[in-house]
Every structure is written in structure tokens, then in C-alpha cells.
């Protein structure tokens, strides 16, 4: 990649996208975000006559659909992630930069990056084409302070924090002599009845009733309560109602309690307060809350909107046209969860916020850059609906593919095949397949280590902090 000043505006060829740098240099493409969409865009440019710079605040690609399994000990974190430099090591026209994008200078065609390792000053990267794939994050509906107690599972770090808290809760329950307090430790609340919430609740139930139950004497994990809270009238609202009902029944058989029409009004280190149907409020003692409700676009969508004057919708998504470009800036492509795609008439297409959507858009963006750099025009983006999948537990899943609704073991096998296919790296595929096979046969989980004490409030009790009579009791119990 060259580091000269940005080029003058192109002559409008191919709807505003320049074919080559006016000074005879290779076309410079900056891709922001190494998730599903960004990585597909970069890989689609392999062998193209362009220089690509991929910028991400992490040095790895994360397979987010399996984060909940890392959060419940079914998989180790490194099995669902792969270093970006390793993934792209054979793509010679790509440079990987670890840094956090702070803003965009669209007039100068530069991306401003800070938080580079060992560098306190901002760095800017010039581009001829910019592709932004910033993704999304969970929203706490104006209560950002809740994030200190209710952890989400959008990042690898947060998934590890959830895993620490879940397993530490079992350990704390083992040492708690008071039955009422022990019940609070063994009450797990999952907020949000979408695919992530359903999958997370199912995994915690299997963990409590099968795996964790084998190693405790006093805690009795099989008595754990797993509460799945959803403000609407059904789980998995993007699925057909019939599949939502099947999913709810499968969860109930696992020991999960779906709580529909239930909205969280407050929460703290010791409880969650909810509003039930009819307006009644209830306070539920718990020490573990997992948040999977409400999604808003990445902050990068707002930064693009501020720089370009583009509109933002209620979810913070920036508006893009049929070719995924920002109005007035055809050299800027945005995609994934952070955008709302509009047709030529300006109507929002309402595309689903799924990994498959971002991947299709990423491949389209790469192909668009390649074709336009070669002097060919691009057709508008066309979304292909590949369906919906959600797993609930062992041999339990629901799927909706091309209008066909399936559930049970067949849907579960379909889910397994799809996720193994899209997982990055042959090594990770083999490891995950092996883990799943071992877990299916033994009901075991390999990643159950508590490597450090979770941040306050800590679920881990120290014997030295117990009352004298309780300390003696606990020691005697531990000695057998």
C-alpha cells in the first residue's frame, strides 16, 4: 500500500468508482472490520490489481455464532477464533493493521485510526475505495450501567467473563450454607429470546443438569433455575410461529423456564426486577445475568453518517443504496449489521441481521471493487435468503430453509453441518468436530477452568470471609 496523499476524484467511470489511481499506482482499498463481511470482502479481492489494508481492533477473526458455546465451556475460545494474519498469509496484496478506527475524513479519503500498539498518536490511512463492516452490539436500552452486571456475549472477552461467572456460581453455591442464598447462586437469568438467548439458555440447562451435576455434593446443580426472559409474545420472533412453539417446548423439557411478556425494569448484583403481564413487578434473586436483548449498529455507522450526512435509523444503522454505497460517496461501501439497505426507490429492504447476510454483502463488495477497477459496472446487491437456524440442545434445533420448517435431530444435524462448513480454518473445524463428538458421547465439557476471579461482584466465596461456625462447617464438608 502506498502512503501518499489521496488521489483526485475519479472521472465518474462506473458510477463514481475509479478503475486505477490517477498517478498510475495500484488502487488502494481500506477495509474496516475483520468479521464475516469484512473478511469476505478481503478474500474476494485475492489476485485483484489492488492493495488492501484490513483494519480491526482485534488481531483475530471471531466465529460469533459459537460464542455461547465458549461461554458455557463446550468449546475453548481459541477453537472459534483464528488470527487474521494467518487466515490471509497467502494473500499477498493484503496488509493487516491492528487498531481502532476513530473517524473518517471522506473529503480527504482517509481513515483515522488510534490505539495502535505502542503508538500514542493517531494514524491515517488513505484509500481509493473504503469498505466499512463494523457489525453491531447489544443495547441496554438507556441503562448502560447494567453492562457491569449483565454480561453480553458479542466478544470473546465477554464470553470468557460469562463462562467465569457461570462456573464460579456453582462453586459459590457449593460453599453457601443458606438454602435461600444458594438458590440465588443457582438461578441463571438470560435476557432476550432471540437465537442467542435460546441457545445460551439451553446450554446452561444442559450444563447444570448433566455436566456440572456430576462434581458437586452440596450445590445440587440439577436444582438450578434457568429463566429465559422475552418482552414479546414468543421466542425466536424471526422464525415461523410453529417453530417458536417447538423451541419453547424443547427448552422446557431441558429445564428452562421461558418468561414471555416479561420486561426487565432494573437489575443489580443480587437480583433482577421485571414487569410481568398485567403490570405486576417481581424481583428475582440471582447472581448471574446474561444479556442478549436488543441490537444496535456499531459506532462506526454514526461516524460514517456524521461524515457523509447519511441518515441513521432507530437502530443506529446508516442508510446505503442498492450498491451498498453511501449517498454522495460512491467510493464508500458499508455493509453488515451496521447498515440498512435501500432500493432505488428509497425503500428499506429490511434484510436480516445474520452472518450470511454480511458474508453475501462482503463478497459483493469485493466483486464490485474488482469489476469497477477493471472498468466494468456492478449490478445492485441481491440478497439470497439462506434460512434461519437455532440450536436448543443435544439433538434439538429448529430450522427454516427455503420455506421448509424442520425441527429436532434433523435440524440439529443441519445446524452442525452449516457451522462446521463456515468455521474458519481446517484445524478449528477438526477440533470443534472432535469436541462436539466427545461432548455428545460423554456429556462432558472440556473448557471448565476458572482462570481468574471475575470482577466484582465476585461469586467466589473465600473460607476466610465466612462466619466462624460456617467456616468450620465448610471445611468439614470439604474434607468429606
> CA-to-CA distance for 19 and 323, rounded, in angstroms?
16
374 flagged as catalytic:
no
Q: Are 35 and 336 in contact (CB under 8 A)?
A: yes
Please provide the DSSP assignment of 348-361 as one string.
B------HHHHHHH
> CA-to-CA distance for 335 and 362, rounded, in angstroms?
7
Q: Can you count the helices (H) and strands (E) in the chain?
A: 13, 26
Q: Which residue has the cell 440447562?
A: 205
> Rounded to 5 degrees, what angle do the CA atoms 306, 307, 310 make?
65
**Number of C-alpha atoms within 13 angstroms, CB side, residue 69?**
28
- Grid coordinates representing 214 are 456430576
- Grid coordinates representing 202 are 439451553
Look at residue 90 and give its three-state secondary structure.
coil
Specify the DSSP class assigned to residue 116: B
Instruction: State phi, psi for 64 to the nearest 5 degrees.
Output: -60, -35
**b/e for 237-250, b at 16 or more Cβ within 10 A?**
eebeeebbbbbbeb
Residue of 199, 230, 323, 400 with catalytic role:
199
> Rounded to 5 degrees, what angle do the CA atoms 107, 108, 109 make?
90
> CA-to-CA distance for 121 and 184, rounded, in angstroms?
47
Dihedral sign, Cα of residue 245, residue 249, residue 254, residue 256? positive
Residues identified as active-site: 199
Amino acid at each position: 500500500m502506498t502512503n501518499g496523499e489521496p488521489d483526485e476524484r475519479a472521472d465518474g467511470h462506473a458510477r463514481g468508482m475509479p478503475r486505477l489511481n490517477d498517478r498510475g499506482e495500484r488502487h488502494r482499498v481500506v477495509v474496516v472490520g475483520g468479521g464475516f463481511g469484512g473478511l469476505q470482502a478481503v478474500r474476494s479481492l485475492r489476485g485483484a490489481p489492488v492493495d488492501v489494508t484490513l483494519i480491526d481492533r482485534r488481531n483475530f477473526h471471531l466465529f460469533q455464532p459459537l460464542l455461547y458455546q465458549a461461554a458455557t465451556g463446550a468449546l475453548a475460545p481459541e477453537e472459534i477464533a483464528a488470527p487474521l494474519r494467518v487466515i490471509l498469509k497467502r494473500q499477498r496484496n493484503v496488509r493487516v493493521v491492528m487498531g481502532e478506527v476513530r473517524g473518517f475524513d471522506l473529503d480527504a479519503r482517509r481513515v483515522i485510526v488510534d490505539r495502535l500498539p505502542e503508538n500514542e498518536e493517531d494514524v491515517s490511512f488513505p484509500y481509493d475505495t473504503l469498505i466499512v463492516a463494523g457489525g453491531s452490539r447489544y443495547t441496554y436500552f438507556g441503562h448502560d450501567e447494567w453492562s457491569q452486571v449483565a454480561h453480553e456475549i458479542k466478544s470473546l472477552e465477554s464470553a470468557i467473563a460469562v463462562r467465569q461467572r457461570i462456573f464460579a456460581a456453582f462453586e459459590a453455591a457449593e460453599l453457601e450454607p443458606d438454602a435461600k442464598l444458594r438458590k440465588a447462586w443457582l438461578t441463571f437469568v438470560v435476557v432476550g429470546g432471540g437465537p442467542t438467548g435460546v441457545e445460551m439458555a439451553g446450554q446452561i440447562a444442559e450444563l447444570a443438569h448433566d455436566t456440572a451435576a456430576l462434581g458437586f455434593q452440596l450445590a445440587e446443580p440439577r436444582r438450578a433455575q434457568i429463566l429465559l426472559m422475552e418482552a414479546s409474545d414468543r421466542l425466536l420472533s424471526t422464525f415461523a410461529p410453529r417453530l417458536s412453539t417447538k423451541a419453547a417446548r424443547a427448552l422446557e423439557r431441558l429445564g428452562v423456564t421461558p418468561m414471555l411478556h416479561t420486561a426487565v425494569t432494573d437489575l443489580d448484583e443480587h437480583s433482577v426486577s421485571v414487569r410481568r403481564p398485567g403490570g405486576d413487578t417481581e424481583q428475582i434473586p440471582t447472581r448471574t445475568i446474561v444479556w442478549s436483548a436488543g441490537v444496535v449498529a456499531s459506532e462506526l455507522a454514526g461516524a460514517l453518517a456524521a461524515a457523509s450526512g447519511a441518515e441513521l435509523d432507530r437502530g443506529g444503522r446508516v442508510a446505503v443504496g442498492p450498491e451498498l454505497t453511501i449517498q454522495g460517496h460512491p467510493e464508500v461501501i458499508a455493509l453488515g449489521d451496521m447498515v440498512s439497505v435501500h432500493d432505488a426507490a428509497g425503500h428499506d429492504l429490511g434484510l436480516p441481521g445474520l452472518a450470511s447476510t454480511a458474508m453475501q454483502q462482503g463478497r459483493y463488495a469485493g466483486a464490485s471493487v474488482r469489476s469497477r477497477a477493471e472498468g466494468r459496472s456492478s449490478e445492485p446487491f441481491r440478497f439470497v435468503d439462506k434460512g434461519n437456524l437455532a440450536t436448543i440442545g443435544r439433538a434439538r434445533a429448529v430450522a427454516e430453509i427455503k420455506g421448509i420448517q424442520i425441527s429436532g435431530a434433523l435440524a440439529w444435524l443441519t445446524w452442525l453441518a452449516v457451522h462446521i462448513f463456515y468455521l474458519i480454518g481446517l484445524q478449528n473445524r477438526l477440533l470443534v468436530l472432535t469436541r462436539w463428538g466427545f461432548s455428545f458421547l460423554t456429556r462432558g465439557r472440556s473448557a471448565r477452568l476458572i482462570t481468574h476471579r471475575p470482577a466484582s461482584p465476585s461469586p467466589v466465596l473465600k473460607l476466610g470471609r465466612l462466619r466462624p461456625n460456617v467456616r468450620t462447617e465448610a471445611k468439614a464438608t470439604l474434607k468429606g
